[in-house]
Each structure stands twice: as structure tokens, then as C-alpha cells.
Amino acid sequence: MDGNAIETTAVPTPKVVIDLDSDPEATLPLGIASRHIYKKEQPLNAFLWMLRHRSAPQGPNHNVSYHLEVPNQSSAPIAPRQGGQRAGKSFVAEILMLRRILSSGKMGLLVLPYVSICAEKAEHLEVLLEPVGKHVRSYYGNQGGGSLPKDTAVAVCTIEKANSLINRLLEEGRLSELGIIVIDELHMVGDQNRGYLLELMLTKLRYASGEGNTESSSGETSGMSSAKVDPAGSLQIVGMSATLPNVTAVADWLQAALYQTEFRPVPLEEYIKVGNAIYNQKLDIVRIISKTADLGGKDPDHIVELCNEVVQEGHSVLIFCSSRKGCESTARHVAKHLKRFSLGQLSSHNESIDITSAIDALRRSPAGLDPILEETLPAGVAYHHAGLTVEERETVETCYRKGLVRVLTATSTLAAGVNLPARRVIFRQPRIGRDFIDGTRYRQMAGRAGRTGIDSKGESVLICKPEEVKRITALVNESCPPLHSCLSEDKNGMIHAILEVVAGGIVQTASDINRYVRCTLLNSTKPFDDVVKSAQDSLRWLCHKKFLEWSEDTKLYTVTPLGRASFGSSLSPEESLVVLDDLIRAREGFVLASDLHVVYLVTPINVELEPDWELYYQRFMELSTLDQFGANFSFSDMGSV
């Protein structure tokens, strides 16, 4: 098989148990394998085929080995974890990463989409690597900054911090110190808000590995960049996703070996609930809920009944709500009635003591005890959304993992942000905020159902109205939308992409630009001439806005102080211009008589918030004269408010 081939492997249902300590294909140092997290009876056999394919085919023109494990869209998107043990794609990638860093002595980079997952994974890896004296570094939220220390074994990063780290390693000529990069949720490449950073990072790695070389139109070979590039020839990339329909296109872009499986450790049963009837995916009625289960009209959706029958068996329930307010009100509703109907079933005496301790700890926290949690926690119910404080979130998640909380209401961010699986997942409404849920989000959320090693199955129940049934049926059975490049013209990603590589010293000449754009996902889906035109338009815009300069004498692109500041801040060029405009106006007159001008200048520009403008105007008119003066200096369009 040549270097550009894609290998697809079928996986039979597992029948034997693989011993991590004895199987030569899955061996890890005893200090790691003997930890409680990796028990000897770990059912690895379902994924052993991927461990045996540790090296992707090497062609003559590419030096980077890629591994891509993508169960197809009919599988659940998240492989559940219980007690620190993963039985899915994340677990396999973890084994690959540990073997790589321990055998090569090089560093590993683990890229995760959300801060909450990073924190959980960093703690997990610290426990694993402590026996062999390896260090785990955290680069997420307000943690981490600057260069990677040379004694780092694994750096756990968000997408933004990972991209910054790669930029720094390229600037310092240290990219060769990386042995492996693991990217969880590879489909985030197509995310309209953050995907372009992931695509930029992968494009830079492809470029640094020497890919993109081809015969130019003039007959000359566009070789390596005239800029300083640290070769990434020995770098291995492991990408994982369960909601990536056009996986072959992505594998072609990365020149990756492709491995697929439809295996799911815990089978998922999907249901649609309309009124008191529950249907399967084919709209066959599988159950009718008793009319008396609506609590005399107080619970028309039978939420308490759906929770109670699972909790009484000792299992847990996740209820996804469309809003924060919905999470809180649903938690209060379930706690009130679940306590009455299942008193004595939720917890033992010792667990009650733990709940009391958790409540006392929250009462001593800086924010104090939230009245809703004070009401719901004793009943084994809690809510989870972005409005929780750090202490509240940690307490709720810990209580849920310990089984003290059996019913958790949450917004959709929990589906991708925290690994908290349940026996049953309930969709309170088929919406996220005001928007109707899409196929990708639905599969992420439904995939939380089923805990490996505990549940024999997982169940998802989507509650909808009769007029929504047709749309819901299509949603449950549809494929996820194909992934598209974030560098397309309508998304303005190419401007940021070009600035990053020029400011980072990766490309300097027109030939470099042509080779760089050949490494993009956009080039694998669009004609090369169109991609080049987009890059040229971006270069003209960057030069016009004074981010870059072109020298006719040297035929090189160089970065200006503005471009270097934008690059160093990780702001997009468009955001940088807004900040620059604010700073220019501040230099003309800085208001120190009030804090408002200072607060405005230090407020992150990329925080998306749509205020109630009527209330905003009312509050503005209530400000003191000095504060209004500061506001007028802060907001160039204050008159339109």
C-alpha cells in the first residue's frame, strides 16, 4: 500500500479479554499498567486492531504518520468512562500516546475542546505518569503560558493554547521535540467559532513536515520555505471523532491511515416520546406511560416517572434542557417529586453524610450555598450549566460520579464539556436555546447514555410535540453534516491563516504561500486556483491594513509591529483592528475620573453578548456624569444607543 492510501479495517465483536500487562501489542510499563485506572481485566480487545496499526504507511513524499479512528455516524459519539477507565476511542488514543512518549522520549500534546475536559484529563494523566517520573503540564484557561519546559511528557491543551504552543515551538525551532499530537473530537475542525484554529494548526504541521511540494507552473519545484522551519518528520498525529461523515476527505487531507469501527461498548437504544407514548426510531410504539404518572397534571411530560424508574434500579439520569433557567426549574421539579416517590432509594446513610458534607463545603465557599442546590442536593438531584461557580461545578460533578447525585439536569455544553455518562439521557426539548437541535449535537448528547462496565445498555429519550415528530424522525436517522474548511472566503479564515504563518516566520515568499495553501483542508475540497486566489486576496488585505509588508527588492513578506502584536495576542486581524481603534481613542483622551473606561479597555473583545438595549439605555441614563463621560470615550457608537 502506498503512502497516500487509506486503509479501512473491519472489527469483529470481541470475545476475549486482553491483559494489558502481558499482551505484547498493548504493553505499558508496570508502573502505569498496574494502576487502578488500568486494571488487568480491561476489555481492550475491541480496539486492539488500532493498537497494532501504530504506524501509518510512509510514502516517499511525506514523513508524518497519521492515525484516524472514526466510528461512523450511527455510533454513539462518546465512549463512556467509569472509575477512570475508558473503553472507547479516547482510551485507545491514550494508550498510543503513552507508548509513543515512553518509547521515543519525546513530548506529547493532547488537544481537547473544553477546559473542563482538560482539567479532568490532566488529573488523570498525572496519576498515570507519576510512577514513572513523567511531568504533565496544563495549558488551558488561565493555566500555562510561554514555552513548553523540556522535561514535559504530556501537555494537555485547549485548541487555542495548542495552536499558540505550536507557534512558539516553530519560532524556537523545537517542533522536532514533539513525538505525538492527539486531537480529540477532530470534527471540531469544522466548528464555525473555533475550528479555524485547529485547521491552522494541522495545516502548519503538514507544511512543517515538508508536504505541499509540487511542480510549479513555471516548471520550478517549490521546495522548502526560505524561512526557518523545524522539520516534523517524526511527528505522529492521532485524530478521533464519532461524528465525522466525510471522514475519507479528512483522511485524504491529512494523508492519513483511516481506521473505522461501528463497535460501541454499551449498545444505545434511541426513543422518541410524544404525549404518553414512546416510539423507537422507526416510529413503532414500544411503550405507553400510565396517565397517572403525570402527578395530577404537574408533570405532563412524565419527567419524574422516566427518572424514578431508572434511579430505583441504582442508575443515573441526565436531562438536557434548552436553557439555564430550564435546568434549574427542572432540577427543582424532579427533586421535589423524586424525593417523595423514591425516599430511601437514593442513598445509603454514609452517602447522606457525604451529601451533607458537600452542602457544608458549598456553604463555606466564597459564593455561598446556592439556594437551588441546597433544595435539590439532599434528594440526589442537581443542575449543571455555565453559570455555576468553580466550587459548585466541582462539587456537583464529584457527587454525580460518586453516585450521590442520580439525576443531573444540564445544558448542551455538558455533552462535549464533561465526561458524565448516565444510564438514561432525556431531552427535555429538541432545542438548544432557541435553535432546533442538529444531528451532530443530538448524537453527542445521546452518546452520554451507557456506562462501560456498569450498564448493559444506554437509553436516550427525546421528548417532542406531535407537530415536531416528522422533523425529529429525520433528525434521529440523519447523517451528520459534512465537514467544510473554515478557511473559505465566507468565513474569513484565510486572512488569519496567512498572518499566522508569515508572523511566525514559517513562510516568506510567494512560493512558500503556494506550498502552504496546498496543505490546507480547503485545497482538498476546492480547485487549487481558487484557493490561491483566496490567499492572494488575503495577502492584499493584510498589506493594506498594515499587518504585513511586501518588499519588491527581496521578494519577501514581512510582519509589521501591528501584525506581530495581533499574532502574539492570538486575536484575529479583524479583532485586532477593533482593539487598535479603542487604544487610539484612549490615547486621545483617557478618562481616569471613573473606572468605566479602564474596565471597557480590559474587557475581552471576543466575549459574545447581546444586551437588552432598552435596559442598557436605561442603566446608562442612570450613570453619573463622570461615568457617562467615560462611556462616551469608550463607545464610538454611543450616540446610536
The domains located in the chain, with CATH, are 30-211+233-259 (3.40.50.300), 268-477 (3.40.50.300), 489-574 (1.10.3380.30), 589-640 (no CATH)
pLDDT tens-digit series, residues 571-608: 889 989 989 988 888 888 777 777 777 888 887 776 66
pLDDT, tens only, 111-166? 998 887 888 889 889 988 988 889 999 998 888 877 889 899 999 999 999 998 99
Check residues 167 and 483 and name the one with the higher pLDDT: 167
**Between 226 and 518, where is the model more confident?**
518
Let me know how long the chain is: 641
Distance between alpha carbon 577 and the CA centroid of its chain, in Å?
A: 28
Average pLDDT over all residues of the chain: 78
Q: Is 554 helix (H, G, I), strand (E, B) or coil?
A: coil
Across 56-65, 245-254, 500-509, least confident range: 56-65
CA distance 537 to 530: 11
Examine the pLDDT at 499 and tell me if it is beyond 70.
yes
DSSP summary character for residue 552: T
pLDDT class of 219 with cuts at 50, 70, 90: very low
Task: Using CB atoms within 10 Å of the CB of residue 387, give its burial: 0 to 12 exposed, 13 to 18 middle, 19+ buried.
Answer: middle
Rounded to an integer, the average pLDDT of 325-338 is 94
Dump pLDDT digits (tens) for 525-583.
Answer: 889 999 999 999 999 999 999 999 999 999 999 999 999 999 888 788 998 998 998 88
Q: What is the pLDDT of residue 417?
A: 64
Q: How confident is the model at residue 33 (pLDDT cuts 50, 70, 90)?
A: low
Instruction: Please report which helix (H) or strand (E) contains residue 183, including its range.
Output: strand 178-183
**What pLDDT does residue 432 have?**
86
3-state secondary structure of 595: coil
CB 620 within 8 A of CB 600: no
For residues 563 and 254, which has the higher predicted lDDT (pLDDT)? 563
Which three-class secondary structure state does DSSP give residue 639?
helix
Neighbouring CB atoms inside 10 A of 398's CB total 14
| Per-residue model confidence (pLDDT) at position 194 | 80
- Asked whether residue 68 carries a pLDDT value surpassing 50, the answer given is no
Angle value at C-alpha 372, between 371 and 376, nearest 5 degrees: 120
CA–CA separation, 450 and 400 (whole Å): 15
Residues 330-355 have a mean pLDDT of: 67
Alpha helices in 105-209 (DSSP H): 115-129, 159-172, 195-208
Letter string b/e over residues 620-637, b meaning 16 or more CB atoms within 10 A of that residue's CB = beeeeeebebbbebbeee
